[in-house]
Chain A
Amino acid sequence: MEVKTAKKEKIIKQAPITVSGAEAVIKCLLEEGIDTIYGYPGGAIMPVYDELYKYQDKIHHVLTRHEQGATHAAQGYARVTGKVGVCIATSGPGATNLVTGIADAQIDSTPMVCITGQVGSHLLGSDAFQETDIIGISTPVTKWNYQVTKAEEIPEVLAKAFYIARSGRPGPVLIDITKDAQFASMEFTYKKCTGIRSYKPFPKVDLFEVERAADLINSAKKPMIVFGQGVILGGAETLLQQVVEKAGIPAAWTILGLSAMATDHPLNVGMVGMHGNYGPNVLTNDSDVLIAIGMRFDDRVTGNLEHYAKQAKVIHFEIDPAEIDKNVKTEVAVLGDVKETLQLLLGYLKPNNHDTWHQKFKDLYKIEYDKIIKNELSPKQGKLGMAEVIDEINTTSKGEAIIVSDVGQHQMVACRYAKFNQSRSNVTSGGLGTMGFALPAAIGAKMGMPNRQVVAIIGDGGFQMTIQELGTIFQTKVPVKIVVLNNGFLGMVRQWQQMFFDKRYASTELINPDFVAIAKGYYIKAKQVTERSQLQEAIKEMMDSPEAYFLEVKVEQEENVFPMIPTGASVSDIRLE
């Protein structure tokens, strides 16, 4: 018997081969199915880059122009594919430049593995050249991090890194590898990680809670669903739609939930939160059962918590136990992957419709349409507005494009107006609000989904935070479409200054360069639009371009985004002007 087992193992087990720690890193990436990575070389990571040179036919390394660009590109790649995004940087400033992207991935639950070089282990703690304590620095913003000082640790640690990054509620993992560990040789074998005893990524589903949730939903008169990115991360888009349709419940989304359900679905009632739609915000405080699915009640969603859905019984479908009752007290908490829990819920739901209740959403939409949307989509005069541009993109994309937005007014407008038929199509920095996110994220998104149209919508402020990634676009020839909505201001901050600081525009006006000339300097096709009459044709030309294309649209300088829930106000006190 024993002999038999031993024989079996011998067949399954790969024969170990002797490689350097650096080569082991590459082999681990290949074992995890990684074919595209983003990064920037430097002293302490050079052994890994030397191996990348040898493996360039197997792994496409994209040289970004800044390490922050590498993280956002990896994020963009991860967000559209669902795979783990990978980026590599050297020690010291290379590593610290990753921090913004890591923090962004942490708060937006994006699976990412960052590999950083570190000074030799004998130099650790000596303030050596380009030494920084990246483990200490990244601890609060990573799901897990680990410093490797011995080559033989690499396979097990990287296997764990990928498992942790993608399982449960995904997040970023940073692995710091000392230079001597990259040089040292080791016996390489790889075993994928399937479990860690102290880590429970998928909480056990309590059927009783699912039944309690179903009972509440079945007897609700005014139920409302608010779904978030959890639906996308769990791959539960179809189930969500089935739940919505079977129980006839109006469904609203958080900014990261956008595209999990088709935007033109009759029961899709729009976005909740600070610049969300009028109906779902107001009616949050009228609903009797509020069903939160894979979302975390961010303050930008809830407004003043003292006046948030107090009349409603709240049901929370959530994978992360730490999110339960964190911000909003729940009546029923259904822990687990929504793919599992929504499937179970579906079995208990009674077919229903809530037409009278749904009509309320439609009535409020009508108010919002008359007061805001109509004017924004078809203004008769004045300068171009941001919404018109998004709408024109919709016309060409027919809801099939991936829209990558940056942060600020244009982001809110893009998310309010963009049409989506497919999931994983809205890529934006939600939780962290990272300006400069969109340009590099669009690069990653296009590389992850090369057959889909990828359009980056960026403000003139955020564009200049990572503008150097135009170089990456030029070098890799990645055909992304870039739209800069140029209003000459840090628009969102300016809007707040106008509304809450008596129009004292402190440091929000931007004197901008010739963006078209800059894009052309990178040999990217570029055009500027200033007039409404040019817009349609320019968008079409951009969308039809087989190559990368840069379009600058000069828009109204002092446009404000409405509706708006002012800070500290209740969701139902959302302002239309």
Chain B
Amino acid sequence: MEKKNYTVSIYTENNIGLLSRIAAIFLKRHFNIESITASKSEVNEVMRFIIVVEITEEQVKKIIGQIEKQIEVIRAYYHTDEELIFQETALYKVNSAEFVEDLTIQDFIKETNARIVTVTPKFFVIEKTGKRHEIDNLYEKLKPYGLMQFVRSGKIAVSKNEMPISSILEEFNAININS
């Protein structure tokens, strides 16, 4: 079976220790996590993890099973890139002197739809949100000018299909009220 980039979305309760519990499942199977982000989700007090991992579909299915088994995981999903709308964000810190002297940098910013976040006498911070190759593209362009710092976020993504977390939680509440 072919290895692919799968994006795993995990909806969880907001509890200390859950990150390491989830990470341990990947560790146990010796899978390398490409990127990970955690944030609040569309549902109150529900966290959402987005983990990118390059494995086979069979492997990702088994991982989902193990993740959903964790007590505080509400539901986990996996998607291919085609099933997602996704973005990454990067920050590039460049020397102000370079920036002012060489106008091609300014052209790069315009071409790539990047944005200047901060300007100081010493450095500029440029922000670019987009697909991985777009971020890499700007990185390659800025690199010759001496990047002072570079950082890229993990992938964030929303699925084209529904992930009905609210109704899953409502279903639980309904059962519990009845019993």
Chain A residues in the interface with B (C-beta under 8 A): 135-136, 139-140, 143-147, 164, 194-199, 320-326
Contacts and interface: CB of A to CB of B under 8 A. Distances in A.
A198 B172 CA distance: 8
A541 B69 CA distance: 49
Nearest to B17: A135
A326 B71 contact: no
Interface in B18-74: 20-21, 24, 27-28, 61-62, 65-66, 68-69, 71-74
B100 interface: no
A198 B176 contact: no
Contacts of B172: 195, 197
**Residue of A144, A196, A321, A322 ringed by the most chain B CB atoms within 10 A:** A322
Given A321-B65, A322-B68, 5 more contacts: A143-B71, A198-B13, A199-B71, A199-B72, A324-B65
A197 B66 contact: no
A195 B20 contact: no
A204 to B, nearest CB: 10
Contacts of B179: 194-195
B96 interface: no
A139 B21 contact: yes
Contacts of B169: 197
Contact of B28 (A140, A143, A164): A140
A144 B71 CA distance: 7
**Residue of A146, A147, A198, A324 ringed by the most chain B CB atoms within 10 A:** A198
A322 B175 CA distance: 23
Contacts of B72: 196, 198-199
**Residue of B17, B69, B73, B176 ringed by the most chain A CB atoms within 10 A:** B69
A355 B16 CA distance: 58
A326 B65 CA distance: 9
Interface residues of B, number: 25
Nearest to A201: B71
Given A139-B17, A145-B17, A321-B65, A198 B71 contact: yes
Contacts of B71: 143-144, 164, 196, 198-199
B176 A194 contact: yes
A527 B16 CA distance: 54
Nearest to B62: A326
B173 interface: yes
A322 B17 contact: no
A275 to B, nearest CB: 27
A325 B60 CA distance: 13
B168 to A, nearest CB: 9
Nearest to B18: A139
Given A139-B17, A140-B24, A322-B62, A198 B73 contact: yes
A144 B175 CA distance: 23
13 contacts: A135-B17, A136-B20, A194-B179, A195-B176, A196-B72, A197-B13, A198-B72, A198-B73, A198-B74, A321-B65, A322-B65, A324-B65, A325-B61
B7 interface: no
Contacts of A147: 16-17
Contacts of B20: 136, 139
B136 to A, nearest CB: 35
Contacts of A195: 172, 175-176, 179
A322 B25 CA distance: 12
B12 interface: yes
A388 to B, nearest CB: 42
B147 to A, nearest CB: 35
Contacts of B28: 140
Nearest to A164: B71
A85 to B, nearest CB: 19
